[in-house]
Structure 1
Amino acid sequence: MTQTLRTLLLGGFIVLTAGCATGKSESFTFTADLPPNFTYQAVVKYAPAKGETCTAQKPDVGYNQRWHLDYKEKYKIDSEIPIYRTTEGCRLAIYRVELDVYGAYGEDRGDFGADSAMVIIREQLEEQYKGVFDATGESAINGQCQWMFRTQGPKRRLSKGLECKKIDDQGVVTRERPVGAYTLNQLPGKTVKLKIKLADEQQPGWGDTWVKVPNGWKRCMGEGPEDQRGYCNGNYEDFSSFKMPDGRDCTIYPGCTE
Structure 2
Amino acid sequence: MTTLNSQVKSRFKIPALGCYLALTAGCATGQPNTFTFTADLSPDFAYQAVAVYEPAKGETCSVPGGRNTEVGFNLKWRETYTPNSEIALHRTVSGCPLVIRRIKLEINSAYGKDWGDISGDSAVVAIRDELEEQYKGTFGEAGESTFYGQCQWLFRTSGKPRILRKILDCKKTDALGEPGRGRPFSAYTLDQLPGKTVKMAIKLADEERPAIGDTWVKVHNGWKRCMGDNFEDQYAFCYGNYKDFSGFQMPDGQKCTIYPGCTE
Identify the TM-score tier after normalising by the shorter chain: 0.7 to 0.9
- 1:53 is matched with 60
Cα offset for 1:169? 4.7
Alignment correspondent of 1:3: none
Deviations along 1:98-151, whole A, 9 cap, x unmatched?
Answer: 111111111011111111000000111111111111121111110000000000
Query: Corresponding residue for 1:11?
Result: none
Q: 1:164 aligns with which of 157, 167, 170?
A: 170
Work out whether 1:140 is the aligned partner of 2:141: no
20-29 or 226-235: bigger deviation:
20-29
Cα distance in 2, alignment partners of residues 78 and 21 from structure 1? 26
Calculate the aligned-residue CA RMSD, in Å: 1.6
Could you list the per-position Cα deviations for residues 166-224 of structure 1 after superposition, in whole angstroms to 9, with x for gaps in the alignment? 11255311231000000001000011111110001101001010001111100000111
Q: How does 1:204-243 map to 2 (within 5 A)?
A: 204-243=210-249
Q: Which of 120, 127, 130 is residue 121 of structure 1 equivalent to?
A: 127
CA distance in 2: counterparts of 1:53 and 1:63, whole angstroms: 28
Does residue 30 (structure 1) correspond to residue 32 (structure 2)? The answer is no
The SS at the match of 1:73 is: coil
Q: Report which stretch shifted further, 43-52 or 71-80.
A: 71-80
**Distance (Å, rounded) in 1 between the aligned partners of 2:175 and 2:112:** 33
Equivalent position to 1:131, from 114, 119, 137 = 137
The verdict on how the C-alpha distance between 1:60 and 1:80 changes in structure 2, with shifts beyond 3 A counting, is same
- How many corresponding residue pairs? 236
Shift of 1:72: 4.0
Shift in CA distance, 163/20, structure 1 to aligned 2, threshold 3 Å: farther
Helix, strand or coil at the partner of 2:167: strand
* Identity across matched positions, percent: 59
**C-alpha spacing 1:39/1:170, structure 2 compared with 1 (3 Å):** closer
Q: After the TM superposition, which residues 76-155 of structure 1 pair with which residues of structure 2 at under 5 Å, given as runs?
A: 76-155=82-161
Structure 1 residues 21, 51: CA separation in 2 closer, same or farther (over 3 Å shift)?
A: farther
Q: C-alpha separation between the residues in 2 aligned to 1:175 and 1:247?
A: 37
TM-score (norm 2): 0.86
SS in 1 for 2:134: helix
3-state SS of 2:155 partner: strand
Name the TM-score, length of structure 1 as normaliser: 0.88
Q: Can you give the 5+ residue segments of structure 2 that lack an aligned partner in the other structure? A: 1-19, 27-32
- The answer to whether the 8 A contact 2:149-2:177 is kept is no
- Using a 3 Å threshold, how does the CA distance of structure 1 residues 206 and 255 change in structure 2: closer, same or farther? same
Partner AA of 1:48 in structure 2: P
Distance, in Å, in 2 between the alignment partners of 1:98 and 1:54 is 24
Matched residue type, 2:105: L
Contact 1:20 1:49 in 2 (8 A): no
Distance 1:83 1:229 in 2: 48
